[in-house]
Copies of this chain bind each other. A is one copy, B any other.
């Protein structure tokens, strides 16, 4: 397995498509940002990912984390890679300089995580969780906690976890039972059991900072009675971990993939903790950092799509099997051709390419929104960015991880029988990426989040705003070559506009309806957004194509492939949604409880 950091396409997306340097540079915090600086960071990240991290990926899968007597040993090379990562200052990349951070944009962190997850998904989860913890503490903890913990987290000296799941409470955090009882000195005593805690125990850092959802004694039931606590593995004194806290790892899971990531059961036995934010407002604090976390999960799908595409393409150029229907002159006497010449293989490769490049556009666009939502000086624009980001977040999380899963499956097909062999290295990507469809809210829950909280909750206003912007791009696209693509995208957008009031009306009689069509709506809005960015990308590529015909020509072809052969999925999506609406209008039940009993 190899990985060439896709620097050219990253630059295209950031600097040609989104004008990222100038955009970010306008925010006071980023006044030192320019394209050179960004490119330098990205090149360094690419070097770390391809040279340091990739070599640890297969060994991490083979060895996995080992659990013994409450301790977790990470696979060979993980510690060394982490030390280099930390020494290079990568944990601090997007953190506040007040706590030792580099104060760089989330956009750069997103690029970094595309590369980390594309080269070692399991390893990337150790530092990946750091950002969620940082963000929760940064926004909600009091100054005392911040002063003690943030510098350590920002420097990467201490890693962090998010302790949410319990055996009976997965998607439904309202069912959490872990208890927190107030003690003297303003701290709390935590008791309970958490499961599926990524990085809950390991040997990478001297201390681990757990952020824990738990209930206060007088908490109301359900999700309104959950508070957030900080529980360190070692209680620090003057920045040095001292007394071992009563929080212990009782075991790690054997999983389908991400074997190098320690998925721990964590027991809190009268552990000492501190409240973060207000009592009973823990879920809100958690959801505040969800945008960033889900964006990072989504970028994982892009990272995987890119890596499996690169490797499948390289294999397809080498592997010679069967004569192609169309074969170059110089191969006429050969008994068989490289499989890249076979249309079946080309179609899978083009899909993977479209997933990687399309996902990248959508993810970076959202990362820029996140930076804008935090740093734009104008409160109104800030709010607009936040609103658009909220709309796109579930799409990025679900659609891009689904695409990563599909791309990995296609890569195995391209490798054929060899793809099914562990030593080849490609099947690991399918096993690893599967978890991204589940964690940080399953992709089914993302779809519900989109339709209920992001679309119907404001009568589609957020979505209509996005559709307006798409329409602006459509209106200014005049190249004759893109007429059909423009028509296809226009149709999707028009359908969406018409669907929202119809769904809204129908859901009054049929409360199940929006939940039923949620998966289709997510992909439909996703294609509108992705089609929009492909149209912009194709336009730019068309303008620039003489400068670099190979790169821009391939970009235009990939856009064309997307519009002609991927976007047609929307026909199916619209038809399914229409069917549900018809059933609802006719008063037919589409609740299948009886059929399933």
Q: A residues engaging B (CB < 8 A)?
A: 165, 168-172, 174-175, 195-196, 221-222, 253-257, 313, 316, 320-322, 325-326, 335-336, 340-350, 353, 405, 409, 412-413, 416-423, 427, 430-431, 434-435, 437-439, 442-445, 447-448, 511-512, 515-516, 518-519, 550, 553-554, 557-558, 561, 564-565, 568-569, 571-572, 574-576, 579-580, 583, 591-597
Contact = CB atoms under 8 A, between A and B. Distances in A.
A175 B418 CA distance: 17
Contacts of A222: 335
20 contacts: A171-B322, A172-B321, A174-B336, A175-B335, A253-B421, A254-B422, A254-B423, A256-B420, A257-B420, A313-B596, A326-B511, A344-B447, A344-B515, A344-B519, A346-B593, A350-B596, A353-B596, A571-B571, A571-B574, A572-B572
A165 B342 CA distance: 20
Contacts of A413: 437-438, 442-444
Contacts of A430: 256, 434
Contact of A438 (B416, B447, B574): B416
A315 to B, nearest CB: 12
Contact of A420 (B172, B255, B574): B255
A119 B435 CA distance: 24
A583 B256 CA distance: 42
A349 B442 contact: no
B576 A568 contact: yes
Given A347-B519, A350-B595, A416-B442, 6 more contacts: A257-B420, A343-B518, A413-B444, A557-B592, A568-B576, A569-B572
B596 A515 contact: no
A46 to B, nearest CB: 22
A576 B565 contact: yes
Contacts of A595: 350, 353, 553-554, 557-558, 561
Given A346-B592, A554-B595, A321 B255 contact: no
B422 A255 contact: yes
**Taking each of A347, A413, A512, which has the highest tally of chain B beta carbons within 10 Å of its own beta carbon?**
A347
Contacts of A256: 412, 420-422, 427, 430-431
Contact of A434 (B175, B320, B335, B420): B420
Nearest to A564: B579
B172 A512 contact: no
A504 to B, nearest CB: 15
A417 B438 contact: yes
A594 B427 contact: no
**Taking each of A170, A405, A422, A558, which has the highest tally of chain B beta carbons within 10 Å of its own beta carbon?**
A170
A415 to B, nearest CB: 9
A346 B596 contact: yes
Nearest to A566: B576
A447 to B, nearest CB: 7
Contacts of A571: 568, 571-572, 574-575
A356 to B, nearest CB: 13
Contacts of A344: 444-445, 447-448, 515, 518-519
Contact of A196 (B316, B350, B417, B427): B417
Contacts of A580: 564
Contacts of A434: 409, 412, 420, 427, 430
B596 A254 contact: no
A321 B346 CA distance: 43
B564 A583 contact: yes
A65 B5 CA distance: 38
Given A256-B422, A345-B444, A511-B326, A596 B335 contact: no
Contact of A596 (B253, B340, B442): B340
B438 A170 contact: no
Contacts of A515: 325, 342-344
Contacts of A409: 405, 434
A573 B561 CA distance: 15
A412 B421 CA distance: 22
Nearest to A309: B596
A440 to B, nearest CB: 11
A574 B574 CA distance: 14
A273 to B, nearest CB: 24
Contacts of A435: 420
A223 to B, nearest CB: 10
